[in-house]
Structure 1
Amino acid sequence: MAKKEVTVEQKLRALYDLQLIDSRVDEIRNVRGELPLEVEDLEDEVAGLNKRLEKLNTDLETIDEGIKTKKNLIEEAKSLIKKYGEQQKNVRNNREYNSLSKEMEFQELEIQLSEKHIKEFKVQIVQKNEIIDQTKERLTERNKHLTHKKGELDAILAETEKEEQALIAKSEDFQNNIDERLVAAYKRIRNNVKNGLAVVPIERGASGGSFFTIPPQVQMEIASRKKIITDEHSGRILVDQALAQEEKEKMETMFSKLS
């Protein structure tokens, strides 16, 4: 069976219908605006703050272990000093006595050094706790902000997601019924022009959204719907006002059923 020939007018109507559907999706996404990105950024920031808190708490545990180690060293040094002191009572000569005295002096230095390190560790603990408090405060504020923004986004999604998905499905259906080369051209133009408008009607003698006047002869050609004509300034595909109005009314009826 021979494939039914599609007229230029049918192609123009299908392209404009596709444009109306895609523009409707754009409107829905514009309502969401920057919210999804804001939520994503806040989630990243909260994750980063949580990670920072984990590291700070790990640092505190490491410092605590360091203090315990130094305290053990002090206790060991004290035991050795006591031990060497007892041994000095039973030495046989000055050499042994002096050797034990040096060991005791060394252990005294070990105690002093360990006490110095413990003081430094305690200063670090104070500093770390200050940073932890600041980070917790920031985290609480960011979590609160995130909850608020998520609530906003969820509310918008609840209102629009169903319609958006239905429109995307419709867009795909319409594309399947249009020549692949036309769809490719439509997408290319849509990506290169402001507001994603690839197919526009003539408004007050100019291309929709443009200030460039279209010559009367070209306007007549567009109105005849015998060939696909593009605006020489923007590259957009042009349709006449009557066709655009008819398709807009038809698509508005479809949109009202989807929303």
Structure 2
Amino acid sequence: MENTVAQKLEALKKLQAIDSQLVEIKKIRGDLPEEVEDLEDEIAGYNTRITKFEEELTAYKETIKEHKASIKEYQERIAYLEDQQMNVRNNREYDAINKELEMLGLDTQVSEKRIREAKIAIEAKEEQIGMTKQMLDERQKDLDAKQVELKEILSETEVEEEKLLKQREKASKNIEERLLNAYNKIRINSSNGLAVVPVRRGACGGCFNAVPPQKQADIKEKRKIIVCEHCGRLMSDVEIVIEEEKKKTTRKRSVRRKKAE
């Protein structure tokens, strides 16, 4: 049997009450979960940067090693050629040896230059690593403190939150899928998390725009689900307390008039 409009609205009000309590729990946590997540991402970035710097450092050291090996080979070849230069038989052989010695000398200078450049780069990279590690340590301390704070808050609220989530799951089953989807969409898009609101003092309890008297009468009858024409929130009822206050005010005015007469 399909639920009446009144039953549907009551189920939505119950769900809204549960969601509002969950919102309050999230308010207690504040921005801590996001701050922790941001710090974790920042620290991961620093670790990635350090790894990259260390890989570059290793490459520079390998470059130095390779050029030192090349210089050793050049020196051995130079020593050999200088020895052979003493036994040349003609000017052609002498010139050929001199040309090769000259090329080996230039190759040695190039390798020495590459070694100097690599050493300078290593110093700069080690300084970058040191600074990054320092920033990493500072952010890690911030993260540790935030995690402790968040853990304390979670330990205080997780039992209540788990209970509310179970209640929410149970309450959601009592609402037809189409209506539940509409409720969730409105709630997610609203700034205060309210999708179901009453009429208070003649205005929408969500956006505070005036609700026409005829529409208020329709809301009271609960023959159909009515939404606010301004914010789209579901209108659950018109607060009776307000009506009683109006009646009391009217009675007081009547009494005053009678006394004046």
- Does TM, normalized by the shorter one, top 0.5? yes
C-alpha displacement of 1:77? 1.5
Of the three residues 86, 100, 105, the one matched with 2:102 is 105
**Residue matched to 2:5:** 8
Q: Which runs of 5+ in 1 are unaligned?
A: 244-259
Residue identity (%): 50
* Equivalent pair of 2:46/2:136 in contact (CA under 8 Å): yes
**Residue matched to 1:115:** 112
**Residue matched to 1:223:** 220
Of the three residues 231, 235, 240, the one matched with 2:232 is 235
* Equivalent pair of 2:206/2:231 in contact (CA under 8 Å): no
**Residue matched to 2:245:** none
Q: 117-126 vs 232-241, which deviates more?
A: 232-241
Shift in alpha-carbon separation, 1:170–1:242, aligned structure 2, 3 A: farther
* Equivalent pair of 2:78/2:104 in contact (CA under 8 Å): yes
C-alpha displacement of 1:38? 2.0
**Residue matched to 2:257:** none
Matched pairs, number? 240
C-alpha displacement of 1:242? 4.5
C-alpha displacement of 1:135? 0.9
C-alpha displacement of 1:224? 4.1
Shift in alpha-carbon separation, 1:57–1:224, aligned structure 2, 3 A: same
Asked if 1:186 is matched to 2:179, the reply is no
Shift in alpha-carbon separation, 1:108–1:15, aligned structure 2, 3 A: same
**Partner SS, residue 198 of structure 2:** strand
* Equivalent pair of 2:206/2:233 in contact (CA under 8 Å): no
C-alpha displacement of 1:227? 3.9
**Partner SS, residue 192 of structure 2:** helix
Of the three residues 115, 130, 154, the one matched with 1:157 is 154
Asked if 1:75 is matched to 2:72, the reply is yes
**Residue matched to 2:17:** 20
**Residue matched to 1:96:** 93
Asked if 1:145 is matched to 2:142, the reply is yes
Q: Which runs of 5+ in 2 are unaligned?
A: 242-261
**Residue matched to 2:250:** none
Q: Distance in 1 between matches of 2:174 and 2:165?
A: 15
C-alpha displacement of 1:139? 0.9
RMSD over equivalenced CA pairs, Å? 2.2
C-alpha displacement of 1:128? 0.9
The alignment's TM-score, normalised by the length of structure 1, stands at 0.83
The alignment's TM-score, normalised by the length of structure 2, stands at 0.82
Q: 182-191 vs 21-30, which deviates more?
A: 182-191
Q: Distance in 2 between matches of 1:179 and 1:110?
A: 82
One-letter amino acid of the counterpart of residue 112, structure 1? Q
* Equivalent pair of 2:209/2:230 in contact (CA under 8 Å): yes
The C-alpha deviation readout for 1:131-153, integer Å capped at 9, x for no partner, is 11111111111111111222222
